[in-house]
């Protein structure tokens, strides 16, 4: 399939992923500098800034494991990044698919950096309502979630075309 000059190539997708990583890491540095672990600062009636450390994965899965999970998630995130880059190289012209992969790549590597540097992931966004609190998350988690939603939408769109 010929490549359209307006279609982003691998380097553009990697640049977008790098921007996600920079935004993620910058916000985490700001939180680490301004908050002690466990601090909560209300912003609105449904949104707080907090400082939380997640030693596990999504929703603190394996949070209380003995430490091996740090290296497991670093390895898993690194392998996922290699696979995603390979997929972007092959399918970078598929806009929604490539956006999904790029968001997941940036988010995964943002959290891998945290695990490598700190041994945990820094979370700081807390949404709540009526006494219910969603687990704290960060920019990387948001990028991964949006990327996963785009993957699902892309697949639904692909199925409808067939």
84, containing H or E segment: helix 68-91
The torsion region of residue 86 among left (phi > 0), alpha (psi -120 to 50) and beta comes to alpha
41-49 contacts, C-beta under 8 A, 24 or more apart: 46/127, 46/128, 46/129, 47/125, 47/126, 47/127, 47/128, 48/126, 48/128, 49/124, 49/125, 49/126
Q: Which of 24, 39, 114, 123 is catalytic?
A: 123
> 47 is written with which tokens?
């949104």
141 is catalytic: yes
Q: Which of 24, 114, 141, 154 is catalytic?
A: 141
54, containing H or E segment: strand 47-54
24 is catalytic: no
Give catalytic residues, as residue numbers.
123, 141
């Amino acid at each position: 399939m010929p490549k359209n000059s307006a279609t982003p190539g691998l380097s553009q997708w990697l640049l977008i992923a790098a921007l996600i990583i920079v935004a993620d890491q910058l916000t985490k540095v700001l939180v680490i500098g301004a908050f002690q672990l466990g601090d909560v600062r209300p912003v609105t009636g449904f949104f707080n800034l907090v400082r939380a450390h997640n030693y596990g994965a999504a929703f603190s899965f394996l949070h209380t494991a003995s430490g091996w999970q740090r290296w497991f998630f670093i390895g898993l995130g690194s392998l996922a990044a290699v696979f995603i880059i390979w997929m972007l190289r092959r399918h970078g012209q598929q806009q929604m698919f490539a956006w999904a992969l790029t968001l997941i790549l940036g988010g995964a590597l943002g959290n891998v950096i945290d695990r490598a540097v700190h041994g945990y992931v820094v979370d700081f966004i807390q949404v709540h309502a009526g006494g219910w609190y969603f687990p704290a998350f960060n920019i990387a988690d948001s990028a991964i979630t949006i990327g996963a939603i785009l993957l699902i939408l892309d697949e639904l769109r692909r199925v409808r075309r067939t």
